Each structure stands twice: as C-alpha cells, then as structure tokens.
A and B are shown apart, each in its own frame.
Chain A
Amino acid sequence: GRRMKSTAPRSTLRKIIKKHKPQLRLAGNADLLAWLFYFTFKQDCPGVVVHLNFLLFLHRLAEEARTNAFENKSKIIKPEHTISAAKVL
C-alpha cells in the first residue's frame, strides 16, 4: 500500500506543549544518544521523539478500537469503539 506520511509537524508539536506549559522548554541539545552511544549531540530531536510518542499513542488507540470493533462484529470503527479504547489507555 501507500506509505504513510509520518513527518512530524515539529513546530506545531512545540507550540502545543508551549500552550500547556508556557515556561517549559524543549531541549535544543537532546542527549538522547548519551545512553546509547555515550556521546551528546546538539540537535532538537525531542520534537521528533514527542512525535514518535504521539504516533505510538495513535497506534495503540487504533489497535484497541480495532479490537473493540471485532468484538462487536463490526466492520467499521465507530465512536463507541474509540471511546472504550481511550478508556483502556
């Protein structure tokens, strides 16, 4: 099938976090790899990691909703399926 476009709206992600927490800053120098490679690099990767987390959240939500739909012998995902999926998460 078609590859899913999964480029992160990075500035948007930052803005969203800023909206909730105006005083909170997302690191420009992520030391994400410090624990992987024991070296630090200067790059605003957290935005990407936030996006990854969001992707995984949607992934979980979709899987749960899908399971609920199957259990109700439904061929489409309906609101109630997503609502009960959200409650599980």
Chain B
Amino acid sequence: PMQLLRPKTAPKRLRTSQKKPREPQVPRSLIKEIFRHFAKMPVTRDAFQIVEKCSERYFKQLSDDLEAYSRHAQRKTVEAADLEVLMRRQGLVTDKMPLRVLIERFLPLEYRRLLIPVALSGNKVTPCK
C-alpha cells in the first residue's frame, strides 16, 4: 500500500541512443553454460553458434507442439500436463523415468518445490505458495 504511493523514480538515461527492442531469446551465456556443463569437454566457438541456432529452432518447434496439444484439448492455455504428454512423445518421460525423477535430477531446489509439493507427515500435502 505504502509502496504504491511512492512516486516512480525516473528511469536512468541510457547512454546508447534508442535501443532496438531485441528479439526475446535465452541468454547466450546461459545456453553456453548449460551446454558446457553437459558436454564435459571443450567446445569451439563455432560449435556454440550451432547450439544457439538449434535452441532457436527448438523453441519454434516447441511452440508449435504446445499449440497443437492445447488446441487438441480445446484450450487456449498450455498446461503443465501438455508438456508431460510432449515429453512422453519425445521419449524423455517413460514409465521407467517419470517426470518427477527428471524434475529432481535437473532442476534446482526452488523449482522442485514449485513442481513437487512436499508431502508432510500426517498425510498433508503442502501446495506451492
């Protein structure tokens, strides 16, 4: 309430003149870091560029797929269940490798908490806040 009454501070003037709105993309540094982490060996600069291109293509494909799934369910909203179906089709989620295991293996704790509520004793389940 009090914060709303405060006047907004003027945004800092950017030194660069008129920044163009950039295409939304996953930060290169992050892609690099993740790929390097998984590759466990040196990667040439050009190879990273290929990885970036692949990432762009990946998101395009992903958007198409998610649209198809949600439309199939006559929804305009993508739900987490759509992603699970997709990951099953990609062969990432199988009976031997349930989504939970993937979540636990690949995501940091804060996200695990979001996706997997902690079962407490007394059979209570805490939903994420």
Contacts and interface: CB of A to CB of B under 8 A. Distances in A.
Interface of A: 4-9, 12-13, 15-21, 23-27, 29-37, 39, 41, 43, 45-46, 48-59, 61-63, 65-66, 69, 75-79, 81-83, 86, 89
A48 B116 contact: no
Q: Which of A16, A36, A55, A81 has the most CB of B within 10 A?
A: A16
Chain B: interface size category: 35 or more
Tell me the dominant secondary structure on chain A's binding face. helix
Contacts of B14: none
Contact of A9 (B30, B35, B128): B30
Nearest to B27: A9
B20 interface: no
A48 B127 CA distance: 16
A85 to B, nearest CB: 8
